[in-house]
């Protein structure tokens, strides 16, 4: 029996607005509990929501980037249900008339580029957080997150396997970060997805019963959760059972999905238009403003890097594909003209370091200015490439500028002939056997002399000059 | 309104009716539903619903922080809380 | 000297002439309220803070507002920072809000002193003030009789002369009907005229705050201060507010007043009809012309309202879950049990009925037939008014088909009985139009009210027409004997 998988993803993107969707409380992550909570977010009696325009602008940017239809008039609806972290007993969301309809996103698959259609995207407020294990017998509620703007993006059920799902999420991540719609920080919950998974016999046109795996927040878990679920559903069907339509959670410790505790009654959300908010209208001039200030996307950056900075296609692609890396590059090129050297360092040493620490460049202590200065110092021969590497290490751990490090450690490259000549003379004088060896044809010994000179100068002598003077002096 | 429907809407609204009042309440609900059923007599074909008497668009505010947080007072009003959180009986997911 | 029954202008004169300080005035008011506490108008008194504020106000020199130093009462639906706000419900019996409603804040910024929170029907659901957790309010005209609702406490306190004015809220008639039953004046402004920030929501698209007082003039003074754009309320109108006192004395010659054919006034109790006809004659003598108008869908008002209001309230009241504030039941097994027990123990029967009906009207399979259908019929009703107002300036109706009644004598067997009494007031809430009730005599010794409905934003015309009537009649000057209290 060959089975095929049908997956639809609902991505919840936390928008990077400074304040919440319906209140002017801050959205800053990591604040102490219940401090980023305004009267409205607490759902106190008598409070009323008010619309944050920036949330709309970000949602529209997303819609424009994926080629969707923007509903310039959209409305909010109430989704009614009870849960401890839902202060009003309803969530304000968009049901019938969402801000974004349709659109498409290209993903990379093993067999080339595949286009996934987007059904819709709408704005809604996030709920608070419940902590279940910290206080004996109690669940604790923190409403800091309550009211944070979310863009819920629904894909058509066109994804065929776990790898494609990851590819879709990666493409989504890149898009929302480049658009400055979200910081995409999955560990902080800025990007989460619910996966709707069903299987059917290959060739069948009817969809199988689907289950929904909720709140997966890493690329790795998306792949594992979906693969587990596919296997589980296959087992159920092959043993003659039926897949139950239910909501499941992924347990990363056990690497399995299990059903969420649900009540006997299915939830009827009783959607109706939010009477405390009127229809939100985006004017034509607002739409134009958004178009005029559209951020540069990876494709455009790649082309620009090749054209303006002479980067090779491959290098341009790498730098352009990460928002933090691209932003870094864009800032650094303001301070240095050696674009190729800069890009080599970014792709080489710097990327290696970031990978090792598993951080983004904007999470490191490196600044674009400092890296630009480092490139300049190599370029103007203040330091050698080798010394630059050790300066770089210091920059990574201390965040100091290269000049500070060069100064404090006295790492300036020695380039003047006189100083180097003095050391060369000393080395030659101290190693007569090797001199003889070199002069009798053992060319490789040049390396020994270079090494000795470098040792005497703590690596600061300019290697080309050392080579030149050594050759001059040894060839007699 | 059959028993099943009453049970469902009671659960959705997180309300329970005392068994001794149940019949009376059901009759009252029945009477109110009959009242609002009278709407069916009105022809509303092609009529847009009027969700608010104001036919104006929503005001959109700037994305600028303005906190009116009163954490201690918020927590104080709760039946169970500690210095940082609202507390409820432990929920198992 | 007695402060009972003094108007705002009279009290203003006394304060300006320094024959009484605001502090003394507030103390006298509190004493008066205490002496009449059998009426049960108040849920919470604001004694210490009230006196403190009065002393402050006495200390300032500028006397730029008519309300400076004047004692007022606020319906217990408005959040008042630091002062208990209960909505006359057990579920909020100990709730102290951390903020103040805009409408109240504006009145207080104008210098008025809040002396207490008035009793009401629980969560504004009711038309007799018999659903309050804190007990019934007595109609000052007759002990053991209802004052009307839901702003029963405010109406009774004003009718008993304790304070010159109070705030109320009106979702289906809750300012106008108690004003009528208590022989005083009450106005519901255009929807959106007064900010709803801090006004605990019953039905969001219908609720509106307004004043109750013993004259149209005093209502105008309060409404002037209460009105105004508030960005915290998206459903607030961003329009310029005219001074309602400016045009209040305009002669009303040529005013066209519509009588609604479909209301079948001929079916009303004879005495109510007589009062209505007499008032018509007064208006005619002042130069008004009467025209018959048709509002073909008006008979749908009551079923429309009782689909929409419960639906919106069922959602608005979900926040009362015992988690962050309000009553929480003891000994609950889990979160769901906490919700069910807290809400079932905390809410009264009428509130529960309306939440259940509302939940039903919004539920899958019924939404189109009830909630959506009601909102469509609502548009028909609004359209009818729009058409009618092309040829008339105001519409006149009795406020209520009957007078106040004895406690427990109506709506007990069948709540619909009471709902049907809202037929004259409800349509203006559905259409968002302003409406006022003024006293125009008595039937069997109990007051009856005359209602005027105006077009969108025409509160000035309503108050003008009401004031001229009051300049040419004495109904609004009648006082209950109060000997039973």
B80 contacts A37? CB cut-off 8 A:
no
Of C81, C63, C74, C56, whose CA–CA distance to C17 is shortest? C63
pLDDT at res. A382: 83
Does the beta carbon of C421 lie under 8 angstroms from any beta carbon of chain B? Answer: no
Model confidence band, residue C166 (pLDDT cutoffs 50, 70, 90):
very high
Q: Which residues of C touch A (CB under 8 A)?
A: 78-79, 85, 87, 92, 95, 97-99, 101, 196-201, 203-205, 231-235, 311-312, 315, 317-321, 323-325, 335-336, 339, 359, 362-364, 367, 371
pLDDT at res. A350: 95
B36 contacts C361? CB cut-off 8 A:
yes
Model confidence band, residue A24 (pLDDT cutoffs 50, 70, 90):
very high
Q: How far is B24 from chain A (nearest CA, A)?
A: 25
Q: How confident is the model over C201-213, as pLDDT tens digits?
A: 999 999 999 999 9
For the cut 70, the answer to whether the pLDDT of residue A266 exceeds it is: no
Q: Is residue B32 part of a domain?
A: yes
pLDDT at res. C111: 94
Model confidence band, residue B73 (pLDDT cutoffs 50, 70, 90):
very high
List the 40-79 stretch of B: residues with Cβ below 8 A of C: 40, 42, 44, 47-54, 56, 58-59, 61, 68, 70, 73-74, 77-79
Mean pLDDT, rounded, of chain A: 92
Mean pLDDT of A423-442: 87
Subunits with 3+ C-beta pairs closer than 8 A to C: A, B
Q: How confident is the model over C432-444, as pLDDT tens digits?
A: 999 999 999 999 9
> Cβ contacts of residue C378 below 8 Å, gap of 6+?
B49, B50, C304, C308, C430, C431
Mean pLDDT of C309-317: 97
Instruction: Determine the distance from the C-alpha atom of residue A386 to the mean position of all C-alpha atoms in its chain, rounded to a whole number.
Output: 31
> Using CB atoms, which residue from B12, B61, B67 is nearest to A268?
B12
Of A144, A43, A130, C330, whose CA–CA distance to B91 is shortest? A130
Mean pLDDT of C342-360: 96
> Using CB atoms, which residue from C237, C359, C419 is nearest to B12?
C359
Structure ipTM over 0.90, yes or no? yes
Mean pLDDT of B46-65: 92
Q: Is residue B12 part of a domain?
A: yes
pLDDT at res. A416: 85
Minimum CA–CA partner of C316 in chain B: B13
Q: Is residue B20 part of a domain?
A: yes
| A122-136, B24-38, C426-440: range with highest mean pLDDT | C426-440
For the cut 50, the answer to whether the pLDDT of residue C9 exceeds it is: yes
Mean pLDDT of B72-86: 94
Based on the residue annotation, tell me whether C150 is a catalytic residue of this protein.
yes
pLDDT at res. A476: 64
Mean pLDDT of A126-151: 94
Domain count, chain B: 1
A and B: number of Cβ contacts within 8 A: 125
Report pTM.
0.90
Based on the residue annotation, tell me whether C174 is a catalytic residue of this protein.
yes
Minimum CA–CA partner of C432 in chain B: B53
Model confidence band, residue A85 (pLDDT cutoffs 50, 70, 90):
very high
Instruction: Kindly report which listed range (A420-434, B42-56, C174-188, C447-461) carries the lowest average pLDDT score.
Output: A420-434
Q: How far is B31 from chain A (nearest CA, A)?
A: 22
pLDDT at res. A112: 92
For the cut 70, the answer to whether the pLDDT of residue B89 exceeds it is: yes
Q: How far is C231 from chain A (nearest CA, A)?
A: 8
Mean pLDDT, rounded, of chain C: 95
Q: How confident is the model over A281-332, as pLDDT tens digits?
A: 999 999 999 999 999 999 899 999 999 999 999 999 999 999 999 999 999 9
- Write down the residue that tokens 């989704």 correspond to: A79
Task: Please tell me which residue, A432 or A76, carries the higher pLDDT value.
Answer: A76
Q: How confident is the model over A245-264, as pLDDT tens digits?
A: 889 999 989 999 998 866 54
B57 contacts A280? CB cut-off 8 A:
yes
pLDDT at res. C62: 61
Coil/strand/helix, residue A406:
helix
According to the 3-state scheme, what is the secondary structure of chain C?
Answer: CCCCCCCHHHHHHHHHCCCCCHHHHHHHHHHHHHHCHHHCCEEEECHHHHHHHHHHHHHCCCCCCCCCCCEEEEECCECECCECCCCCCHHHCCCCCCCCCHHHHHHHHCCCEEEEEECCCHHHCCCCCCCCCCCCCCECCECCECCCCCCHHHHHHHHCCCCCEEEEEECCCCCHHHHHHCCCEEEECCCCCECCCCECCCCCCCCEEEEEECCHHHHHHHHHHHECCCCCCCCCCCCCCCCCCCCCCCCCCCCEEEEEHHHCHHHCCHHHHHHHHHHHHHHHHCCCEEEEECCCCHHHHHHHHHHHHHHHHHHHHHHCCCCCCCCCCCCCCCHHHHHHHHHHHHCCHHHHHHHHHHHHHHCCCCCHHHHHHHHHHHHHHHHHHHHHCCCCCEEEEECCCCCCCECCCCCCCCHHHHHHHHCCCHHHHHHCCCEEEEEEEEECCEEEEEEEEECCCCHHHHHHHHHHHHHCCCHHHCCCCCCCC
- CATH 1.10.260.40, domain C1-485, yes or no: no
pLDDT at res. A265: 54
> Using CB atoms, which residue from C232, C318, C364 is nearest to A82?
C318
Mean pLDDT of A44-71: 97
B26: domain CATH number is 1.10.20
For the cut 80, the answer to whether the pLDDT of residue B92 exceeds it is: no
pLDDT at res. A263: 52
Q: Could you give the C-alpha distances from C321 to A452, B87, C309, in angstroms and in order?
A: 80, 13, 20
pLDDT at res. C317: 98
Residues of B in contact with A138 (CB under 8 A): 80, 87-90
Mean pLDDT of B58-64: 94
Core vs surface per residue A192-215: b (16+ CB within 10 A) or e: bbbbbbbbbeeeeeeebebbbbbe
Q: How confident is the model over A165-207, as pLDDT tens digits?
A: 999 999 999 999 999 999 998 888 899 999 999 999 998 889 9
C419 contacts B35? CB cut-off 8 A:
yes
For the cut 50, the answer to whether the pLDDT of residue C74 exceeds it is: yes
Residue of C6, C27, C75, C106 marked active site: C75
Mean pLDDT of A143-147: 97
pLDDT at res. A264: 47
What are the structure tokens assigned to A296, written together? 């540069």
Residues of C in contact with B54 (CB under 8 A): 191-192, 235, 237, 432
pLDDT at res. B3: 83
Map out the domains of chain A with their CATH numbers: 3-285 (no CATH), 296-409 (no CATH), 417-475 (1.10.10.410)
Q: How far is C410 from chain A (nearest CA, A)?
A: 31
Q: How far is C321 from chain B (nearest CA, A)?
A: 9
The torsion defined by the Cα of C2, C6, C8 and C14, in degrees rounded to 10, comes to: -40
Q: How confident is the model over C292-303, as pLDDT tens digits?
A: 999 999 999 999
pLDDT at res. A345: 95
For B21, the domain range is 3-39
Based on the residue annotation, tell me whether C90 is a catalytic residue of this protein.
no
Mean pLDDT of B65-71: 95
Instruction: Kindly report which listed range (C25-29, C284-288, C481-485) carries the lowest average pLDDT score.
Output: C481-485
Minimum CA–CA partner of A91 in chain C: C315
Residues of B in contact with C334 (CB under 8 A): 89-91
Distance CA A226, CA C84 (A): 53
For the cut 50, the answer to whether the pLDDT of residue C332 exceeds it is: yes
A278 contacts C197? CB cut-off 8 A:
no
Residues of C in contact with A49 (CB under 8 A): 234
Q: How far is B23 from chain A (nearest CA, A)?
A: 23
> Using CB atoms, which residue from B14, B56, B74 is nearest to C343?
B14
For the cut 50, the answer to whether the pLDDT of residue C288 exceeds it is: yes
Choose from C207, C229, C232 for mutation: most chain A CBs within 10 A: C232
Q: How confident is the model over C381-408, as pLDDT tens digits?
A: 999 999 999 999 999 999 999 999 999 9
Residues of C in contact with B1 (CB under 8 A): 360
The torsion defined by the Cα of A295, A297, A298 and A299, in degrees rounded to 10, comes to: -130
pLDDT at res. A17: 97
Q: How far is C189 from chain B (nearest CA, A)?
A: 13
Mean pLDDT of C51-55: 96
């Amino acid at each position: 029996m060959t089975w095929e998988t049908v997956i639809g993803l609902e991505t919840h993107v936390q928008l990077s607005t400074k304040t919440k969707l319906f209140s002017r409380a801050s959205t800053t992550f990591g604040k102490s509990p219940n401090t980023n909570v305004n009267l409205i977010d607490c759902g106190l009696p008598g409070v009323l929501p008010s619309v944050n325009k920036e949330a709309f602008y970000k949602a529209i940017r997303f819609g424009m980037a994926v080629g969707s239809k923007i509903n310039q008039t959209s409305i909010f609806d109430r989704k009614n249900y009870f849960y401890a972290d839902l202060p009003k007993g309803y969530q304000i969301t968009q049901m019938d008339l969402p801000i974004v309809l349709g659109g498409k996103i290209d993903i990379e698959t093993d067999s080339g580029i595949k286009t996934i259609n987007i059904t819709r995207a709408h704005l809604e407020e996030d709920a608070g957080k419940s902590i279940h294990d910290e206080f004996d017998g109690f669940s604790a509620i923190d409403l800091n997150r309550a009211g944070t703007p979310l863009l819920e993006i629904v894909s058509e059920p066109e994804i065929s396997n776990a790898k494609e799902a990851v590819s879709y999420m990666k493409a989504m991540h890149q898009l929302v970060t480049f658009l400055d719609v979200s910081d995409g920080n999955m560990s902080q919950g800025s990007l989460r997805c619910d996966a709707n998974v069903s299987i059917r016999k290959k060739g069948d046109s009817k969809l199988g019963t689907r289950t929904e795996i909720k709140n997966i927040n890493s690329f790795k878990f998306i792949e594992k959760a979906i693969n587990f679920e596919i296997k589980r559903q296959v087992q159920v069907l092959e043993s003659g059972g039926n897949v139950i339509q239910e909501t499941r959670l992924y347990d990363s410790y056990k690497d399995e999905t299990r059903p969420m505790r649900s009540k006997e009654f299915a939830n009827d959300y009783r959607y109706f238009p939010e009477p405390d908010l009127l229809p939100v209208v985006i004017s034509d001039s607002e739409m134009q403003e958004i178009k005029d200030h559209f951020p540069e996307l990876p494709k455009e950056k790649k082309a620009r890097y090749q054209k303006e900075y002479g980067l090779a296609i491959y290098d341009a692609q790498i730098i352009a594909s990460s928002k933090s890396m691209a932003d870094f590059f864009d800032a650094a090129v303001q301070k240095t003209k050696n674009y190729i050297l800069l890009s080599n360092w970014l792709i080489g040493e710097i990327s290696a370091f970031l990978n090792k620490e598993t951080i983004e460049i904007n999470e490191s202590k490196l600044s674009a200015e400092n890296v630009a200065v480092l490139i300049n110092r190599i370029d103007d021969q203040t330091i050698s490439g080798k010394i630059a590497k050790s300066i770089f290490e210091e920059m990574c751990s201390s965040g100091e500028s290269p000049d500070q490090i060069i100064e404090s450690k006295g790492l300036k490259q020695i380039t003047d002939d006189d100083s180097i000549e003095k050391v060369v003379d000393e080395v030659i004088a101290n190693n007569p056997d090797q001199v003889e060896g070199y002069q009798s044809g053992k060319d490789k010994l040049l390396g020994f002399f270079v090494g000795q000179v470098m040792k005497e100068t703590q690596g600061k002598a300019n290697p080309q000059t050392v080579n030149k003077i050594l050759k001059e002096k040894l060839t007699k | 309104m059959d028993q099943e429907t009453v049970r469902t809407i009671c659960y959705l609204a997180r309300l329970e009716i005392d068994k001794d009042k149940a019949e009376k309440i059901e009759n009252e609900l029945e009477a109110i539903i009959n009242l609002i059923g009278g709407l069916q007599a009105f022809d509303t074909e092609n009529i847009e619903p009027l969700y608010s008497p104001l036919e104006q668009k929503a005001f959109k505010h700037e994305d600028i922080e303005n906190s009116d947080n009163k954490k201690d007072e918020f927590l104080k009003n709760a039946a169970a809380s500690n210095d940082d959180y609202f507390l409820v009986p432990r929920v198992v997911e | 000297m007695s402060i009972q029954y003094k108007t705002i202008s009279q009290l203003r004169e006394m304060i300006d002439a320094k024959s009484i300080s605001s502090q003394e005035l507030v103390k006298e008011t509190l004493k008066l309220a205490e002496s009449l506490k059998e009426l049960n108008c108040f849920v919470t008194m604001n004694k210490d803070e009230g006196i403190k504020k009065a002393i402050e106000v006495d200390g300032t020199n500028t006397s730029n507002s008519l309300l400076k130093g004047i004692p007022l009462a606020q319906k217990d639906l408005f959040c008042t920072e630091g002062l208990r706000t209960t909505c006359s419900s057990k579920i909020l019996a100990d709730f102290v809000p951390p903020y103040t409603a805009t409408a109240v804040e504006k009145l207080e910024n104008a210098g008025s002193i809040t002396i207490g929170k008035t009793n009401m029907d629980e969560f504004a659901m009711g038309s007799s003030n018999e659903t309050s957790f804190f007990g019934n309010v007595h109609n000052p005209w007759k002990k053991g009789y209802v004052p009307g609702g839901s702003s029963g406490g405010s109406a009774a306190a004003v009718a008993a002369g304790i304070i010159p004015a109070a705030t109320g809220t009106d979702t289906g008639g809750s300012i106008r009907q108690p004003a009528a039953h208590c022989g005083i004046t009450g106005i519901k402004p255009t929807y959106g005229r007064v900010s709803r920030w801090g006004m605990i929501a019953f039905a969001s698209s219908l609720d509106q705050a307004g004043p109750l007082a013993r004259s149209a003039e005093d209502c105008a003074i309060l409404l002037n201060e209460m009105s105004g754009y508030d960005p915290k309320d998206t459903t607030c109108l961003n329009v310029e507010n005219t001074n309602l006192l400016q045009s209040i004395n305009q002669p009303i010659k040529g005013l066209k007043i519509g009588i609604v054919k479909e209301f079948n006034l001929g079916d009303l109790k004879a005495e109510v009809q007589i009062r209505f006809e007499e008032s018509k004659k007064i208006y005619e003598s002042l130069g008004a012309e009467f025209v018959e108008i048709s509002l073909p869908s008006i008979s749908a008002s009551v079923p429309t309202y009782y689909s929409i209001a419960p639906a919106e309230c069922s959602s608005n009241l979900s926040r009362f879950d015992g988690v962050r504030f309000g009553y929480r039941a003891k000994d609950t097994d889990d979160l769901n049990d906490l919700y069910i027990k807290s809400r079932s123990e905390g809410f009264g029967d009428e509130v529960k009925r309306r939440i259940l009906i509302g939940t039903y009207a919004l539920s899958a399979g019924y939404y189109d037939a009830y909630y959506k259908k009601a909102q469509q019929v609502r548009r028909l009703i609004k359209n009818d008014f729009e058409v009618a107002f092309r040829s008339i300036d105001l519409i006149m109706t009795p406020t209520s088909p009957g007078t106040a009644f004895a406690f427990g004598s109506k709506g007990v067997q069948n709540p619909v009985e009471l709902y049907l009494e809202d037929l004259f007031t409800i349509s203006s809430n559905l259409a968002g139009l302003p409406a006022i009730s003024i006293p125009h005599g008595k039937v069997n010794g109990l007051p009856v009210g005359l209602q005027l409905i105006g077009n969108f934003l025409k509160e000035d015309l309503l108050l003008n027409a009401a004031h001229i009537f009051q300049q040419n009649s004495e109904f609004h000057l009648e006082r209950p004997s109060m000997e039973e209290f």
